[in-house]
Structure 1
Amino acid sequence: MARALNRMHERIARLMSDRTRMLAAISHDLRTPITRLRLRAEFIEDEGNRKRMLVDLDQMRAMLESVLSLLRNDRKVEAVTLVDIASTLQLVADQFGDMGHVVHYDGPASMTAAARPDDLHRGVTNLVENAVRFGAEVTIRLDISGTTLVIDVEDDGPGISDSRKQEMLEPFVRGDDARTMDESTGFGLGLSIARAIALAHGGELSLHDRNPHGLIVRMQLPLWQQPRLAA
């Protein structure tokens, strides 16, 4: 019985791996015709039609990049190295500030710990990108709770109902009535990618209510070594 179960698990694993490779290949190959169509669309004389077509093509490309990002995160694990977590979060806040958003960082000036730097930056960027869509002001908080690194991304938007919090962490699920995105703003992958990154670190991602209103997305990562703090 145990041998039969092992064979079944191996077949399922191969099937999932083959499907992931197929989806990644299709998504990658579709970028070329989309690029060609975008170049041709630039020559459309009617300005209204040209703009609408370019918006549609940019939306398609954004969807493909999001899918590829999710698939790459499932297949490739970045090496762990020493990272100044505080500097990474400050950088994300500054990058969104440069784009005109109100994003604050609240935490120590420096906190060095072991992590996957590119994945961490991408995960927090996804969370802040989601937060600025719904809130006028966003805060990134960094703290330590025992042996856990806690990163909170808070917004003052409408929040998410308790009945949908867990569902919102699944791929391609978008917000409820209060936080519904239009088709040009996202594809419901930001939270799921951030969650996958947290899980790859051995951590977790969870959603919480913010008082008096808004959402807190909490990324908790285990401390793989004692962090070095600077006030």
Structure 2
Amino acid sequence: AVEGTREVRQAALALNAMQTRLQALIAERARVLAAVAHDLQTPLTRLRLRVEKVADETLRAQLIADLAAMQHLVREGLDLARLETRIEPIVPVDLDALLSALCEDAAEAGQPVVFVQGCGAVRPTRPLALRRCLTNLIDNAVRHGGDAAVRAEVEGETVRLIVRDHGPGVPEDRLEALFEPFYRLDPSRSRDSGGSGLGLTIARRMAEIAGGRLTLANAADGGMEATVTFAPDEKQG
């Protein structure tokens, strides 16, 4: 608010102007990224149709795999660009019902995913953002850890949603780096893993939008745990 002494009002005006410019810059960057990612979809689709006519089966399969990876990356880029512009209302969500539905959907798709524990909590949140966050975490656990065990815990007024795998885990000094866009522990295996390098980046931002905080940690008995924490003082981003 622009109020108070003349010096305070001048400082408030300057801060407001700076905030407006920063918001415009971020919005323009998001629009450019979204436009580029959107426009890439058409030529990629045409390439996919033409690749189907390649006679060499091995070469055709390799080209289709490359195009699928590119299309996945484009979709992730669009999602990342839309994070700051999409406005979703906050509504009460039955967390157990959400987790159970996500696990059932994954299991029906053939993924080794189980819902092992509920917490009975209903939390005001943005459900689409939270669903996307948890879906990314489950996919990441299955892809890199081999399976996903999902549970919810309540401690006082704090709620934790945990996606745990039983893979090899991650070196402690590289856990935080996993949230960086396009970061990979082993770049040489990127094609085999099928990931775009944006899954955890998007998951963390989606957790913030939903009002939570996403962290990674190695489980004491092996594997990795991704935890979305809703604390009493957390606010939707």
Verify same fold: TM over 0.5: yes
Larger C-alpha radius of gyration, 1 or 2?
Answer: 2
Q: Which amino acid aligns with 1:190?
A: G
* Aligned pair partner of 2:61 in 51, 62, 86: 51
| Alignment-derived partner of residue 212 in structure 1 | 221
Following the alignment from structure 1 to structure 2, what is the Cα–Cα distance between the partners of residues 58 and 188? 15
Following the alignment from structure 2 to structure 1, what is the Cα–Cα distance between the partners of residues 121 and 49? 45
Q: How many residues align?
A: 222
Please give the TM-score of this superposition, normalised by the length of structure 2: 0.84
| Alignment-derived partner of residue 228 in structure 1 | none
Secondary structure in 2 matching 1:77: coil
Residues 5-44 of structure 1: pairs in structure 2 closer than 5 A:
6-44=16-54
Per-residue CA deviations over 1:58-101 (Å, capped at 9, x if unaligned) read 11100000111122122213112232221211122122222333
Following the alignment from structure 2 to structure 1, what is the Cα–Cα distance between the partners of residues 203 and 232? 18
Following the alignment from structure 1 to structure 2, what is the Cα–Cα distance between the partners of residues 70 and 181? 23
Following the alignment from structure 1 to structure 2, what is the Cα–Cα distance between the partners of residues 83 and 180? 40
| Alignment-derived partner of residue 105 in structure 1 | 115
Residue 114 of structure 1: CA displacement? 2.2
In 2, are the aligned partners of 1:105 and 1:141 still within 8 Å (CA)? yes
Secondary structure in 1 matching 2:163: strand
| Alignment-derived partner of residue 188 in structure 1 | 197
Following the alignment from structure 2 to structure 1, what is the Cα–Cα distance between the partners of residues 212 and 218? 20
Following the alignment from structure 1 to structure 2, what is the Cα–Cα distance between the partners of residues 79 and 183? 37
In 2, are the aligned partners of 1:85 and 1:113 still within 8 Å (CA)? yes
* Aligned pair partner of 2:169 in 159, 162, 165: 159
Following the alignment from structure 2 to structure 1, what is the Cα–Cα distance between the partners of residues 91 and 160? 18
Which shows bigger deviation, 52-61 or 165-174?
Answer: 165-174
Please give the TM-score of this superposition, normalised by the length of structure 1: 0.86
Alpha-carbon RMSD: 2.2
